[in-house]
Amino acid sequence: MNQFKDEMKEIADSITENALIAMNENNYSRFSEDFDEKMKNVLNEVKYQETIPEIKDEIGNYISKELVSATRNDQFTIVIYKAKFTEPIDVYVKNILSENNGKYYISGFLLLPKCP
């Protein structure tokens, strides 16, 4: 692994793990605790309840993840994980992170099924 990817793994693993476990628990408060303000508005609790249960019906519960890549642009760090869920479908987790005063926040969170 390169140094940047190693550094981001340290930072992003716990943030991403927390969000995925919170999905298993259907716990919006825990799921959103690392969101930045914009993300809290985009994916508020009502929107979460409208979308996440339907996604979980298709992919099941989160089991594990493996970091695939970490890249940075001017504003964001994008980490992508290959994640294993209880349903036999490959899912990629794209977590878009922003930094503010040395702390990382989730600015975007996508679950992407692997296209055949």
Burial class, 46, CB count within 10 angstroms (exposed 0-12 / middle 13-18 / buried 19+) = exposed
What is the tens place of the pLDDT at every residue in 27-55? 999 999 999 999 999 999 999 999 999 99
Q: Rounded CA gap, 89 and 86, in Å?
A: 8
Say if CB 70 and CB 51 are below 8 A apart: no
What amino acid occupies position 58? E
CATH of the domain at 26: 3.10.450.50
Q: What pTM did the predictor assign? A: 0.91
Q: How many domains does the chain have?
A: 1
Among 102, 99, 94, 64, which residue's Cα sits nearest to residue 78? 94
Q: Which domain does 36 fall in, by range? A: 3-113
Please give the residue that has the higher pLDDT: either 22 or 74.
Answer: 22
Q: Which residue has the tokens 């825990």?
A: 30
pLDDT of residue 19: 97
